[in-house]
Amino acid sequence: MTTVARVVLDSPLPQLDRLFDYRVPAELEDDCAPGVRVKVPLRTGARMSDAYVVEIVTEGEYPGELSAVETVVSPVPALAPEIWALARAVADRAAGVASDVLRLAVPTRQVRVEKAWLNRDTTWSPTAVTPPPVTGYADGVLEALVADRGRAAVAAVPHPVALGTEDEPVWVPGWAATLAQAAAHTVASERSAVVAVPDFRDVTDLERALLAVLPAERVVRFDAKQTNGQRAKALLQARTHAVVAIGNRTAMYAPATDLGLIAMWDDGDASFIEPRAPYVHTRDVALVRAAQSGAALLFVSHARSTDVQRLVELHWLQEVAPYRVKTPKVIPTVQQTGAEGYAAQARIPSSAWRAAREASQAGAVLVQVASPGFGTGLVCAECGERAHCRVCGGPLGTPHRGATPQCRFCGALAVGFRCPTCGNGTVKPIGQGAQRTADELGRAFPGTRIVVADGSRPLDEVPARPSVVVATRGAEPSVAGGYACVLLLDGERMLAREGLRVQEDVLRFWTNAAAKGAPGAEAYLVGIGGKLATAMALWRLDGPAHDELADRRELHFPPAVRVATLTGTDEAVTAAVEALEGLTAGSVLGPVPVEDDALPGTVRAIVRFPYAHGAEVAATLKAEVIRRSSTRRVLPGGNRRRAAPALRVRLDDAEPFSEV
DNA sequence: AGCACGCCGACT
DNA sequence: GTCGGCGTGCTC
């Protein structure tokens, strides 16, 4: 009887993306267990490939003679069985390669960490956990959902919450308190939880919330700023006992044992888009993992993404909303350019101005603006049309305040500029950066402390003292107990961007800032009217998501349908499109030539298909990629060096639609 | 990837 | 007659 190791090779080649059988020599049998790293010969005996053992069987599937496993790199298992299953399914969904997913999920080997782990005290066990109730929702609703392995879109508690003791309160965002409390319930039943959040600051917020309700040994953190060693240690820790694994995108791959809860905060945030092959969004990883593990699944946010809205409308997710919590008191003020009733200094309506001024005497006031620094361009002061250079058509800007407008491309001075649309002769900066707004507010609020927070001057927290905090969207500092008042200034400008997800994004920016206010604090939404303003004022944020999804259905745009982008030679792309015959929804876009590609003659097509055909579309495209990958392309000029493969496939890439 | 196998033009 | 060109295909 022979022992056979079935391994997955560490190779990005799609034609090697399957299990290979190797004989296990007698002297390696003790160490060669599922999950360990091994080296195996491939094709010609001299060359070795790294691989992970997926399973050990007595009889393989390969009919020919087997090569032997060369070495077991380390007896510490690096690849948990459920992470292998997850990687396989995630790769299949994206027509990608499983080892690419493993590169995201499994950190490189750390000998010192492994040694420490092998020498650990195996008699130690963590103390039992008594979870606190989940606050802000109807009694027991979220607890029952987690216990029954339910799935839900959860509207977040829209203000900061104090955890910890009354003497030493720990202020955290409402969403962080909810997720920490829910995760504590999972851990109390000795099952693990995995929670993914968009950025580093969110990880810190969530960690603080968790440490207020759980002992430290129950919290394992993964984030991009960790060293490889720290990550490797966290991974091994996650497999020893029930923990809450938290972090950014890669946390969704944490090998937490006996998973009871999978959760995401603010799944619409663009940070969840994976930039590495096979480019699978964290939300999709969560959905695959939930299906495999049967764990409870929570998407927590203020403004619901259209993707989650789709799952709600399918009744695949249920809706959970806070119970008896105070929502921000959003006051929309429609802009009337130049009208009276506006404070001259800072385009702030006088009502908001008075409220902010009053609030800044007592506590911190948050002012949200669109982008850092000063304005980046000029528009006609009358009609708002973008001002362009008469010589080359480039954008006009001012090098410093009060200077003559100048083209930012060719440098020509725009003396005597007249708007080609309305004939007006004056220009104004497009939007206002944080610094400019801070300057203006400084002049208008003499004696008030003004703080600026943006990408280049990040600030996590400000004291709850009288002050005005000017922050770019997404960089708003937290304040214990919440801001006394919030002003949302540049909404109009944020909405002016082109793209499929602009509305969802802007709603997220507004709601996330408004939720930094104290319970029931006023939030002035400047220059915005219509449906969005109404949704904000009523704090009914599922309406816009529903409307938006309805529009996408009509247009056959994601997430109403799924999309695949096919890039490569005209022949390969055309053949792949033909292979998808009968599986698509809506028309095929293209193929059209791709300008910026390194290879001339490269084309791209976008194919839309219904979710029900996903598995078949992915399998078909993977087969096409494998077929094309064996034949190398000859570059024009005769040099036959490494060229891009004839066909590249990417599923669910929203980028081609961002300029629609 | 890399390397072997295989089927058509100019050489001792 | 064969040596070697690189298109095609496989790797347990």
If you average pLDDT over residues A443-458, what whole number do you get? 83
What pLDDT is attached to residue A637? Answer: 38
Q: What is the length of chain A?
A: 660
pLDDT at A242 over 60: yes
A62 touches strand C (CB under 7 A): yes
List bases, strand C, within 7 Å of protein CB: 6-12
A531 touches strand B (CB under 7 A): no
Distance of C1' in B11 from CA in A22, Å: 46
A448-452 LR contacts (CB < 8 Å, sep 24+): A448/A360, A451/A477
If you average pLDDT over residues A563-583, what whole number do you get? 91
pLDDT at A651 over 90: yes
Q: How far apart are CA A215 and CA A125, in angstroms?
A: 13
Phi, psi (degrees; rounded to nearest 5) at A204: -65, -45
Distance of C1' in C9 from CA in A105, Å: 31
Decide which of A153 and A499 is more confident: A153
Per-residue pLDDT of A250-285, as tens digits, reads: 999 999 989 999 999 999 999 999 999 999 999 999
What pLDDT is attached to residue A339? Answer: 41
Of all helices (H) and strands (E), which one includes residue A563?
Answer: strand A562-569
A626 touches strand C (CB under 7 A): no
Which residue has its C-alpha nearest to nucleotide C11's C1'? A43
Model confidence band, residue A587 (pLDDT cutoffs 50, 70, 90) = confident
> Is beta strand A461-462 parallel, antiparallel or unpaired with respect to A478-479?
parallel
Nucleotide nearest to A642 (CA to C1'): B1
Distance of C1' in C10 from CA in A74, Å: 29
Chain-centre distance for alpha carbon A430 = 28
pLDDT at A548 over 90: yes
If you average pLDDT over residues A448-457, what whole number do you get? 84
Fill in the amino acid letter for A597.
Answer: D
Q: Is A116 helix (H, G, I), strand (E, B) or coil?
A: helix
A641 touches strand B (CB under 7 A): no
Q: How far apart are CA A454 and CA A437, in angstroms?
A: 12
Which residue has its C-alpha nearest to nucleotide C10's C1'? A43
Query: In terms of Cα–Cα distance, which of A259, A270, A260 is closest to A307?
Result: A270
> Is beta strand A406-407 parallel, antiparallel or unpaired with respect to A450-453?
unpaired
* DSSP 8-class letter at A249: G
Burial class of residue A390 in the structure, from the number of CB atoms within 10 Å of its CB (0-12 exposed, 13-18 middle, 19+ buried):
middle
A421 touches strand B (CB under 7 A): no
Distance of C1' in B6 from CA in A249, Å: 48
What pLDDT is attached to residue A198? Answer: 96
pLDDT at A59 over 50: yes
Q: Which tokens is A197 given?
A: 């959040």
pLDDT at A638 over 90: no
Distance of C1' in B8 from CA in A577, Å: 34
If you average pLDDT over residues A176-181, what whole number do you get? 98
Decide which of A180 and A575 is more confident: A180
Per-residue pLDDT of A306-336, as tens digits, reads: 999 999 999 999 999 999 999 999 998 875 4
What pLDDT is attached to residue A636? Answer: 42
Burial class of residue A301 in the structure, from the number of CB atoms within 10 Å of its CB (0-12 exposed, 13-18 middle, 19+ buried):
buried
A49 touches strand C (CB under 7 A): no
CA terminus-to-terminus distance, chain A: 62
pLDDT at A630 over 70: no
> Is beta strand A517-526 parallel, antiparallel or unpaired with respect to A483-488?
parallel
Nucleotide nearest to A42 (CA to C1'): C11
HSE value, Cβ hemisphere, 13 Å, CA-based, for A269: 25
pTM for this one? 0.88
Per-residue pLDDT of A416-427, as tens digits, reads: 888 887 888 787
A631 touches strand B (CB under 7 A): no
On whether the CB atoms of residues A420 and A365 are closer than 8 A, the answer is: no
Distance of C1' in C10 from CA in A533, Å: 62
List CB contacts of A510: < 8 A, sequence separation 6 or more: A303, A368, A488, A491, A523, A525, A536
The position carrying tokens 């070795």 is A48
Q: Is A330 helix (H, G, I), strand (E, B) or coil?
A: strand
With b for 16 or more beta-carbon neighbours within 10 A and e for fewer, the A574-608 pattern comes to: bbbbeebeebbbbeebbbeebeeeeeeebbbbbbb
The mean pLDDT value of chain A amounts to 87
Percent of chain A with pLDDT over 70: 89
What pLDDT is attached to residue A76? Answer: 93
Which range, of A170-179, A237-246, A294-303, averages the lowest pLDDT? A237-246
